[in-house]
Amino acid sequence: MLTGRVAIVTGGTRGIGYAIVKKFLENGAKVVLFGSNDKTVTNALGQLKEKYSNYKVIGFHPNLTDEKQIQKIFKKVEAEFGHIDILVNNAGISSNTSLENYTDEEYEKISNLNIKSVFTCSKIAIPYLRKSKGVILNTSSMVSIYGQPSGVMYPASKFAVNGITKSLALELAKDGIRVNAIAPGIIETDMVKSLPREMIEPLIKTIPLGRIGKPEDIANAFLFLASDMANYITGVVLSVDGAARN
Ligand code: NAD
């Protein structure tokens, strides 16, 4: 479904991002994954190359809010692969701190990674995606629709991701660039494993499809929205959550 396409995936070293990288490679794309440090990037590349030795995958660990670093990498990617077709803004961190205990540091950490990185990477990607009539895909969350009972900046950041998605879809439609988001429900990744069991278990019990989501469930939706099958879809926040509501 993505033969010949070149995709950049932020937060591609584990969890949902890693599943997207795998799915895109399996479907013929060349993939550039971004992670938070050299070790996680090297590990992810090692794992992928073991499985998919003939596939084209490279990795970097830029500061996702530093325009100069991102610009330099996008130029390198274009020089190496010829074009850039898909940007997946997936890196993100969650929070369950109560408002009274929030620090300015945590506020900034969440808003920088979950919001500003989407802004910066999308901004730098535009000239490349304009040439390729490409696609921007953002990872939102079910909490961008329903909120959550603690860690207010996490849902707030995902409401912002939805706003960026819908607005950029309108702004970039004239350039032939589609912009969509996926709102995962509760997905079995390190992010969820790091949350208290007493917070997660009762939520899993309420999921109508009767199970927690797998990273691959989300990667399948990313594949669809990245592909030509979704040529007439833009500005959408697609829930992939087993009908979970909180
Ligand atoms: P994860 O913790 O397993 O992976 C997070 C990824 O983000 C990693 O690849 C990591 O390298 C990257 N990352 C973290 N901090 C970074 C930083 N400072 N700079 C650059 N990269 C950084 O999480 P996940 O569950 O796979 O989450 C991926 C996305 O899915 C996030 O945006 C998250 O908000 C969203 N999401 C997850 C769930 C879930 O249930 N797991 C639900 C809804 C939305």
Regarding beta strands 30-34 and 6-9, do their DSSP bridges make them parallel or antiparallel, or are they unpaired? parallel
Contacts of 136 (CB under 8 A, 6+ apart): 86, 87, 89, 122, 125, 129, 165, 168, 172, 177, 178, 179, 180
- In DSSP notation, 34-94 reads E-SSHHHHHHHHHHHHHH-TTS-EEEE---TT-HHHHHHHHHHHHHHHS---EEEE-----
Q: Which of 52, 128, 154, 232 is catalytic?
A: 154
Ligand 1 neighbour 91 (Cβ under 6 A): yes
Residue 87: CB within 6 Å of ligand 1?
A: no
Residue 190 near ligand 1, beta carbon < 6 Å: yes
> What is the distance in A from the centroid of ligand 1 to the CA of 215?
11
Atom of ligand 1 nearest to the CA of 63: 19
Residue 174 Cα to ligand 1 midpoint, Å, equals 31
The minimum-distance atom of ligand 1 relative to the CA of 93 is 34
Active site residue 55: no
pLDDT given for residue 246 in this prediction: 58
pLDDT at residue number 194? 82
Per-residue pLDDT of the chain (246 residues; tens, 9 = 90+): 999 999 999 999 999 999 999 999 999 999 999 999 999 999 999 999 998 888 999 999 999 999 999 999 999 999 999 999 999 999 999 999 999 999 999 999 999 999 999 999 999 999 999 999 999 999 999 999 999 999 999 999 999 999 999 999 999 999 999 999 999 999 999 888 888 888 888 889 999 999 999 999 999 999 999 999 999 999 999 999 999 975
Q: What is the CA radius of gyration of the chain?
A: 17
Mutate to test the pocket of ligand 1, among 189, 214, 241 (most ligand atoms within 8 A of CB): 189
CA-closest candidate to residue 168, choices 119, 216, 127, 203: 119
- Ligand 1 centre to CA of 95 (Å) is 11
Using a 6 Å cutoff on CB, does residue 95 contact ligand 1? no
Instruction: Tell me the CA–centroid distance for residue 71 and ligand 1, in Å.
Output: 22
Dihedral angle, C-alpha 69, 70, 75, 80, nearest 10 °: 100
CA–centroid distance, 227 to ligand 1, in Å, is 23
Distance CA 103, CA 97 (A): 9
Does the CB atom of residue 148 touch ligand 1 within 6 A?
no
